[in-house]
Amino acid sequence: MARIAVIGAGMGAMAAAARLAVAGHRVAVYERTETYGGAVRRFERDGFRFDTGPGLLPLPAVYRDLFVKTGKEPLEDRVELVQVDPSSRHVFADGTEVSLPNASRAGVVAALDEALGWGAGQRWGDFLVRAREAWDRTRRPLLEEPLWPNWSVLAEREPYPSVPHKRLLRTRRAGTLAEIGAWELRDPRLTALLESHALAYGLDPSVTPASAAVLAYMEHAFGTWYVRGGMRELARAVYERCVARKVEFHFGAEVTGILEKDGRAAGLELAGATSQAFGSGGGRVAEADTVVGSGPWRLSDLLRGRELYEAGAVETRPEGTATGRVVVCLALRGARAADAPHRTVVHSADPQAEWDLFARGVPPEHPTVRIDRPDDPALRPDDAHESVVLTATVPSQTRYDWTAAGAADAFADRMVAAAERAIPGLRERTLWREVRTPVHTREETGAEGGGVPAPALASAGGTMLHPSNSTAIPGLFTVGGWSHPGGGLPHAGMSGALVAGLVVEGPEFRGSQ
């Protein structure tokens, strides 16, 4: 039985902790804040509750597998999963609207044809067929296996089978999402639909590889799901599974260094005398045989300059270079409309200008806004009120000062104005609002600048990959959204499975079966 110290109580870290505990190891988690869940948080006030992190769960099979592998009780015994239908409603710049059925290709094709004109649905349906091929080519090496030293095979080949595009005397194939939209979808509204999947993860469609088509395919193929009571309930269920498997949690325990002994990770240094583990005898030290940490950039600081990866590995990029999110929690008077969709995406009236947030580091004047309106009594004080969450992608605190006077409120005003295109009279119904910026994300997750990690993607020379879960230091592993296979709730759960496999089976581990 090995002693394993886990830094942080994010979703990936807890997924790894539960699996390692079931494998017979003694696991202790050291979390800097006073709670678990990482970015999966909840804001509460006056009987209103709001999810301030992910609002929906794609690919729930990842967490079903976690619960199957760590005990007899399935996920559905711990939380109530609800398939959202329609999966999303879209309000485009020209005022056109469409609601997309959940996990139904025929239904989506019919809905798009009716809303956008004949032929639009077929073009989107044909795109999904090609996106599925990209998914089939990348699913296992990109998501279900560790990132091996020959990771360059994922960097070189574009898995998305683009349609040849003839222009003048040249034939080209789409290499980015923007080119797929322009050459294959050929409708600004379909292009906006495609690019919204990238923008939700803070990816610039003009440079994001065509392989990102898998993001739209995942939502279509596996549906979108909501956890009754709010997404925070999923974090609670994973935390309770860890506790049931005898994982020790130490909250308010800030890790200040990683110990090494005989060339391998040997434990943690902690700020003050806040925690002691494994009988180390020193209140500032927690000895361990293996250390699992989140965020390669932060782990490098804890190693005091020691190289975390060998030469030739995927580059570790500062977390602050990623985009962040502004979340506006709205407490509304008046009942939720019975036919209101759970999620609505209000697309920017100026998508080209919106991309400037990537190049210039400024919040968009006309942001794409995602609206979540769960039909969930647990989130409102009574049926005469409604909880609504608005989310937009923005520069992180590293590139834009969200603490400047009026900066957050001014952008929140623009988000509310956009949301009123989908919910008329929204401002008049608002009792109060809470605005959360990348500064809050930084406080809750520790990520530099409050950046939010994107999922790993193939091609693009490897620039969309994340560093491997194994490091150059024996006994030290990385987990969570800043490591392979990247950000998002499903990917966090996958990273936990990969780390547990590498710790238990060693370098010969070849991924989940």
Looking at residue 152, its pLDDT comes to 84
Nearest to 63 by CA among 495, 424, 513: 495
Q: From the centroid of its chain, how far is CA 479? A: 13
The fraction of the chain above a pLDDT of 90, given in percent, is 82
- Cβ–Cβ under 8 Å, residues 284 and 412: no
User: Has residue 358 got a pLDDT over 90?
Assistant: no
What is this structure's pTM?
Answer: 0.95
Tens digit of pLDDT for each residue in 23-34? 999 999 999 999
Q: How far apart are CA 353 and CA 199, in angstroms?
A: 13
The pLDDT value given to residue 352 = 85
- Using 50, 70 and 90 to split pLDDT, how confident is the model at 281? very low
Helices (H), 166-231: 177-180, 188-200, 213-222
pLDDT, tens only, 25-70: 999 999 999 999 999 999 999 999 999 999 999 999 999 999 999 9
pLDDT at 367 over 70: yes
pLDDT band at 151 (very low <50, low <70, confident <90, very high): confident
Q: H helices within 23-79, ranges in order?
A: 61-69, 75-78
The string of pLDDT tens digits covering residues 171-203 is 788 899 999 999 999 999 999 999 999 999 999
* pLDDT, tens only, 478-493: 999 999 999 999 999 9
Tell whether the model's pLDDT for residue 288 goes beyond 70. Answer: yes
226-262 pLDDT per residue, tens: 999 999 999 999 999 999 999 999 999 999 999 999 9
- More confident call, 207 vs 167: 207
Does 301 have pLDDT greater than 70? yes
Query: Is 92 in a helix, a strand, or coil?
Result: coil
Question: Checking DSSP bridges between strand 224-227 and strand 97-100, what pairing results, if any?
Answer: unpaired
The Cα–Cα gap between 496 and 255 comes to 20
Q: Is 78 left (phi over 0), alpha (psi -120 to 50) or beta?
A: alpha
* Chosen CATH of 3-45+54-77+231-316+467-508 out of 3.40.640.10, 3.40.190.10, 3.40.50.300, 3.50.50.60: 3.50.50.60
Residue 272 has pLDDT above 80, yes or no: no
Query: Could you tell me the end-to-end alpha-carbon distance of the chain, in angstroms, rounded to an integer?
Result: 25
One-letter amino acid identity for 354?
Answer: E
| Count of Cβ atoms closer than 10 Å to residue 39 Cβ | 24
Q: Which residue has the higher pLDDT, 277 or 324?
A: 324
Higher model confidence: residue 307 or residue 19? Answer: 19
Give pLDDT, residue 82: 95
Q: Tokens standing for 33?
A: 């804040």
pLDDT at residue 276 in the model: 44
Residue 416: per-residue pLDDT: 98
Q: Rounded mean pLDDT of the chain?
A: 93
Whether residue 278 is predicted with pLDDT greater than 70 in this model: the reply is: no
Measured CA distances, 432 to 89, 330, 381, 415, 428 (Å): 25, 6, 14, 15, 11
Question: pLDDT-based confidence at 87, cuts 50/70/90?
Answer: very high
**What pLDDT, in 10s, does the model give residues 419-470?**
999 999 999 999 999 999 999 999 999 999 999 999 999 999 999 999 999 9
Under 8 Å between Cβ of 475 and 289: yes
Determine phi and psi for 476, rounding to 5 degrees. -120, 125
The predicted pLDDT at position 202 comes to 93
Q: What percent of the chain has pLDDT over 70?
A: 97
Looking at residue 274, its pLDDT comes to 45
Within 8 A by CB and 6+ apart from 49, the residues are: 42, 43, 230, 378, 379, 380, 387
pLDDT grade, residue 277 (50/70/90)?
Answer: very low
Mean pLDDT of 273-290: 63
